[in-house]
Structure 1
């Protein structure tokens, strides 16, 4: 007995140290220079990962693209469907038949990570959310995000919805470069929706010097994710963190990367550009956090709003393997095929077979930067709640 106790006393510190190292190491990160796409630093940048609500940056990219082309206007009226109204938290709480403007939907995604608003936008642009998800994947591949595949517009958990930190950095970079009139929306800290002042939950945007915003994300599968951009002394950096074990760790990792980037601590790294770095995703997405026995293994709480009770996504006919095989190119086709032209052609064929929605056309409207209210500190949520 004494021998066993002695062995345990020796092993426990070693095991605790190992667990600590694994916990800290189980994440992916990348930081790039937004001027030219140079990769300053990365860890596990090609590791496959669940994007969580970082997905909404792609949803917003699609909306900005439609605004730029004149397919939609900022003042266009969107109508909430039953499917959108039934989305789980985080959300605005839209009712079936309730309306909102395109601009309100955009701000709801950025500040509150609203799932219902994301689906309203998706249905307006794609006819159905699943059609829109196909278009999202096609657009992602056209941007060079070959390790990314989307199954919904929200980031709610789906085993086939995957990305990498490299691809998310590419998305942020392309959003900045392609939509300079609309990118400033990401800096909004709050907005007024039908008499309610809704505050954002991105602490990095609220507190880091020169922060321009972007997006937070969280599911049990992904851990705590973050895309951020900041400018100091004329130098703009874009950072991505996937899989923080806590919200605090997510922000700490990002601040550390940004500080090092602005201090030129990564200058000894061999020159590499995000457009040409390896994009062959490795392995299956890690499942970061156990969120309690009440949360299903794959279907977990999504994202960011403080003190919102969890509703999880129940499997439906839209989210089963037969649907994936029929309506989407397979994950292997999208993610692992080396021939990029084949991937693009395959995606285009799928989109061509989809129903095309009709939308009102209005002129583009540039967006001015806005300074919002200070974000209050998020209260810690239970394991079955959404939090940032």
Structure 2
């Protein structure tokens, strides 16, 4: 066992050295102080982007909201539908009619980014995944995520499923503040399922000092995304990186931005706050990633700066061709077609509602950790081997 641990530490050291040599392409990012919402760093924070599996953070937010309201309990039993069982990787591999608890579904999403577990929760809470996605969008706008629109609970490719790094930082901040009793789940490195220990895939959580976890995401259209939270010397930061060219690049981008932000907490402009940032999104998602056998390569459309500004007033409702979803037609919308094939080919534009102002209080103290998952004793530990990049959607 000692030799195994030593080997893992060596592998992590090699991995950290390797990512230090990464050169970065265009990406979107933001780092905020979780105590007050001050923006410590941002790069194209209002640029429209595909969220990929960062979507699941909203799925979890909706789940925690239902738990807090007493609508469900952690040990309630959920049943996988045929639709849930047919989700692509990554997943638990649930079969139709198979059962799992709400807590197992939460941990499967956080540690393994399980698409099937996400759909099981969505169908249990919303009746259908489509209805749940409409509820996710409504909740996003109520939280102040004005440039976010969801079409599913997983983050699988859809041209109308968009967000910004600023909006995702708002979501992470609200999840941390609103649900302190469930926040510790994000720090899970593994969990026991059917007698087996399933290891997590988030290397930021496993390697960054003071990391509290959060969520990874990847599709060919989004690149490699990451939401991370960490504390050092009594300070808490939340970061979002979107559009990494490789999995390693997103981790190194996050670590470097976190390091710089922790070192610069005494030189902050209080006028730069996430609540007062301009929220109009800029352009359509800018990148098209070709996920061939040679890995992800990036091309940038010549019209990458096309304006995309949803109108929140004087809009008329039209019926979407997606069952259970009512969408709102923006007055002016210009989009760029992507090279990926979306799961839902709806051309109906995003549902929008009246803007709601976000007001966020300081983070509450974190509760004791659950016994249903395991956290390593050291800050540096391997997060386990991950599968090779897939064309549909992964972490």
Scaled by the length of structure 2, the TM-score of the pair is: 0.75
Deviation, structure 1 residue 375 = 3.3
1:125-151 C-alpha deviation (Å, 9 max, x unpaired): 000000000000000011000000000
**Is 1:329 aligned to 2:341, yes or no?**
no
Q: Describe the shift of the 1:384–1:161 C-alpha distance in structure 2 as closer, same or farther (beyond 3 A).
A: closer
State the Cα distance separating 1:387 from its structure 2 match: 5.8
Distance 2:332 2:374 in 1: 39
CA offset at residue 267 of structure 1? 2.3
- Pairwise CA distance, 1:258: 0.6
Partner of 1:261: 261
What CA deviation, in whole Å up to 9, does each residue of 1:147-196 have, x standing for no partner?
00000000000000000000000000000000000010000100011112
1:160·1:331 contact (CA, 8 Å) conserved in 2?
Answer: no
Report how many aligned residue pairs link the two structures: 318
Quote the Cα distance in structure 2 between the aligned partners of 1:160 and 1:191: 33
Report the equivalent of 1:358: none
How big is the shift at 1:275?
1.3
Aligned to 1:378: 385
Residue in structure 2 matched with residue 182 of structure 1 by the alignment:
182
Measured against aligned partners, the alpha-carbon deviations of 1:82-120 in whole angstroms (never above 9, x if no partner) come to 000000110000000000000000000000000000000
Q: Distance in 2 between matches of 1:335 and 1:236?
A: 37
Unaligned runs of 5+ in 1: 1-22, 296-320, 345-365
Whether the 8 Å CA contact 1:202–1:216 is kept in 2: the answer is yes
Partner of residue 135, structure 2: 135
| TM-score normalised by the chain length of structure 1 | 0.76
Moved segments of 4+, more than 6 Å: 333-337
Q: Which structure carries more helix by proportion?
A: 1
The structural deviation recorded for 1:324 is 4.6
1:218 aligns with 2:218: yes
Shift of 1:264: 1.0
Gaps of 5+ in 2: 1-22, 296-318, 335-348, 357-366
Distance 1:148 1:58, change over 3 A: same
Structure 2 CA distance for partners of 1:105 and 1:341, relative to 1, 3 Å: closer
CA offset digits 1:323-374 (Å, max 9, x no partner): 259823246389999xx86367xxxxxxxxxxxxxxxxxxxxx762554354
Give the Cα–Cα distance (whole angstroms) in 1 for the partners of residues 333 and 324 of structure 2.
17
Q: Provide the aligned C-alpha RMSD in A.
A: 2.8
| Alpha-carbon spacing, 1:146–1:81, altered in 2? closer, same or farther (3 Å) | same
Q: Tell me what 1:209 maps to.
A: 209
The 1-side partners of 2:128 and 2:329 are apart by 21
SS at match of 1:323: coil
Partner in structure 1 of residue 124 of structure 2: 124
Name the residue aligned to 1:165.
165
Distance 2:149 2:197 in 1: 34
Q: Structure 2 CA distance, aligned partners of 1:211 and 1:334?
A: 41
2:312 aligned partner = none
**In the alignment, structure 1 residue 368 sits paired with structure 2 residue 380:** no
- 8 Å CA contact 1:32, 1:239 repeated in 2: yes
Cα distance in 1 for residues equivalent to 2:272 and 2:36: 10
The 8 Å contact of residues 149 and 163 in structure 1, kept in 2 or not, is answered as yes
* Aligned counterpart, 1:342: 354
